């Protein structure tokens, strides 16, 4: 029988499943819109029971899901490739380098994993409208899965999002509200929407199931890696939910004594959108006033999950690294040339972190290092156009 509770990551209060939907009722009183969320909830399972039920080689992640199988959406996500990146590894001098390519999810990003679980929960609750703020990817994944389930998605996103991401949402039939504003403003408006009109809100970290959905990528890495925990996982960070989800996968495995170690997590942000990096390195949290980066999916002034993200980087003995705009473009090209993987800028910047990590001594020569590719490059072809030259068209007479 499925059993779990929600536990507040700030005050430790515990809630039964249906006593709470979003934040801790006490800590959310301290939440001011326009700041990181307070009282984000973590799902805690019965870990002794998980230990007993877990069977190697069965490849069944549903054990770790806070939702009954009967509600799982009819829209498979995940099961993305995990493979060795030898040519790229040789280039950077990282012998044991692997890629987890989540750009190959159905809508082209890792966000499918979170939307999948939230739509499943909406089926359990009998709610037909799901609302989200997004820089683009969370929205397109929600719109697609809602389409497959006959539900309505309501999308608040910056009008400046890459065209392909907006087109995805419109084509999937969502109600799309492009804003002349930032992602952070979309976040506020979408919260107001659910408060005033109801529906289920999917905002990242605000809905604790987004963390649980994203954690499936960590569980898959563990299984595809022959039930071994990698030494290092490199993750691009905006709101700080993917990195928290990756951590949660290995936390669940550790708590249930299926494994005995955690991977060291590397947080990678753009220099121009570095709120979590600044917080992790200085110990002092500050909102940014203007994040401006070509890495649109991680362009965030106020990361909703800043507090948890800092905690998980610390708990994993991790590190944080910043990448310049120029290095993002270079990383995208190197990744493509040395692995055949075309990743969107927000995802490709982790490649540039490799060189820096090697120089810093963070990676030991035998470490197994995993690059988590979070988004597909075809979602944004304008940005790499700045960095390549398409050969001139020639006449047929050669």
Ligand X SMILES: *Cc1c(COP(=O)(O)O)cnc(C)c1O
Q: Pick one of 39, 208, 375, 377: the residue that binds ligand X (CB under 6 A).
A: 375
Binder of residue 335, out of ligand X, Zn ion, none (CB less than 5 to 8 A by kind): none
The verdict on 120 binding ligand X (CB under 6 A) reads: no
* For Zn ion, the closer CB: 24 or 155: 24
* For ligand X, the closer CB: 268 or 334: 268
Binder of residue 204, out of ligand X, Zn ion, none (CB less than 5 to 8 A by kind): ligand X
CA–chain centroid gap for 155, Å, is 18
Mark residues 133-172: x for contact with ligand X by CB under 6 A, - for none. Answer: ----x-----------------------------------
Q: In the bound complex, what is the minimum distance in angstroms from residue 398's beta carbon to ligand X?
A: 41
326 Cβ contact partners less than 8 Å away, ≥ 6 residues apart: none
- Could you say which DSSP state residue 304 is in? T
The verdict on 308 binding Zn ion (CB under 5 A) reads: no
CA distance 1 to 5: 13
Q: In the bound complex, what is the minimum distance in angstroms from residue 68's beta carbon to ligand X?
A: 26
Binder of residue 201, out of ligand X, Zn ion, none (CB less than 5 to 8 A by kind): none
Q: How many CB atoms lie within 10 A of CB 226?
A: 7
The verdict on 38 binding Zn ion (CB under 5 A) reads: no
**Do residues 313 and 243 touch, judged by C-beta distance below 8 A?**
yes
Q: In the bound complex, what is the minimum distance in angstroms from residue 236's beta carbon to ligand X?
A: 4
CA distance 271 to 382: 21
> CA dihedral in degrees (191, 197, 199, 200; nearest 10)?
10
The verdict on 346 binding ligand X (CB under 6 A) reads: yes
Q: Pick one of 88, 237, 341, 371: the residue that binds ligand X (CB under 6 A).
A: 237
Interaction with Zn ion in 5-24: which residues (CB under 5 A)? 8, 10-11, 13, 24
Helical packing angle, 306-315 and 275-282, nearest 10°: 50
Q: Count residues binding ligand X (CB under 6 A).
A: 18
Which range of residues in 25-33, 245-253, 318-326, 335-343 is near Zn ion by CB under 5 A? Answer: 25-33
Q: Pick one of 203, 207, 236, 273: the residue that binds ligand X (CB under 6 A).
A: 236
The verdict on 344 binding ligand X (CB under 6 A) reads: yes
* For ligand X, the closer CB: 291 or 374: 374
Tokens 């490199």 -> residue: 234
Q: Which of 157, 110, 108, 167 is nearest to 134 (CA)?
A: 157
Which range of residues in 41-49, 63-71, 116-124, 237-245 is near ligand X by CB under 6 A? Answer: 237-245
Q: Pick one of 38, 100, 111, 277: the residue that binds ligand X (CB under 6 A).
A: 111
* For ligand X, the closer CB: 204 or 368: 204
CA distance 1 to 281: 42
Q: In the bound complex, what is the minimum distance in angstroms from residue 32's beta carbon to Zn ion?
A: 15
The verdict on 297 binding ligand X (CB under 6 A) reads: yes
For 199, list phi and psi in degrees, rounded to 5: 85, 175
CA distance 67 to 396: 60
**How far separated are the first and last CA of the chain, in Å rounded?**
70
3-state SS, one letter per residue, for 61-104: HHHHCCCCHHHCCCCCCCCCCEEECHHHHHHHCCCEEEEEEHHH
Q: Which of 278, 325, 328 is nearest to 306 (CA)?
A: 278
Site residues (vs ligand X, CB under 6 A): 109, 111, 137, 204, 236-242, 297-298, 344, 346-347, 374-375
């Amino acid at each position: 029988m499925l059993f779990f509770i929600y536990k507040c990551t700030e005050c430790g209060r515990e809630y039964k499943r249906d006593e709470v939907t979003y934040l801790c009722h006490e800590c959310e009183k301290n939440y001011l819109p326009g700041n990181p969320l307070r009282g984000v909830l973590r799902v805690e399972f019965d870990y002794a029971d998980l230990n007993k039920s877990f069977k190697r080689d069965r490849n069944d992640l549903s054990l770790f899901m806070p939702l009954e199988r009967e509600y799982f959406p009819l829209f498979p996500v995940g099961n993305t490739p995990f493979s060795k990146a030898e040519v790229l590894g040789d280039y950077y001098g990282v012998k044991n380098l692997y890629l987890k390519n989540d750009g190959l999810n159905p809508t082209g990003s890792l966000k499918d994993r979170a939307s999948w679980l939230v739509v499943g929960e909406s089926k359990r609750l009998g709610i037909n409208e799901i609302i989200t703020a997004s820089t683009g990817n969370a929205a397109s994944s929600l719109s697609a899965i809602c389409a497959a389930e006959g539900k309505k998605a309501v999308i608040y996103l910056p009008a400046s999002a890459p065209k392909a991401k907006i087109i995805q949402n419109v084509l999937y039939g969502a109600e799309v509200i492009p804003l002349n504003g930032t992602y952070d403003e979309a976040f506020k408006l979408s919260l107001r929407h659910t408060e005033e009109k109801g529906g289920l809100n999917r905002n990242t970290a605000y809905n604790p199931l987004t963390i649980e959905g994203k954690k499936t990528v960590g569980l898959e890495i563990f299984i595809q890696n022959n039930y071994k925990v990698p030494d290092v996982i490199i993750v691009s960070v905006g709101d700080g939910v993917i990195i928290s989800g990756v951590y949660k996968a290995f936390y669940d495995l550790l708590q249930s004594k299926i494994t005995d170690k955690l991977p060291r997590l590397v947080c990678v942000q753009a220099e121009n959108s570095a709120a979590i990096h600044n917080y992790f390195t200085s110990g002092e949290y500050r909102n940014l006033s203007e994040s401006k980066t070509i890495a649109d999916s991680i362009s965030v002034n106020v990361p909703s999950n800043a507090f948890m993200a800092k905690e998980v980087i610390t708990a994993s003995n991790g590190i944080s690294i910043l990448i310049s705009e120029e290095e993002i473009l270079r990383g995208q090209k190197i990744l493509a040339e040395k692995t055949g993987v075309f990743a969107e800028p927000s995802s490709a910047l982790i490649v540039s972190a490799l060189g820096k990590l090697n120089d810093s001594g963070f990676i030991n020569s035998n470490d197994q290092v995993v690059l988590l590719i979070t988004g597909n490059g075809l979602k944004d072809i304008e940005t790499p156009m700045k960095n390549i030259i398409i050969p001139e068209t020639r006449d047929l007479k050669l």
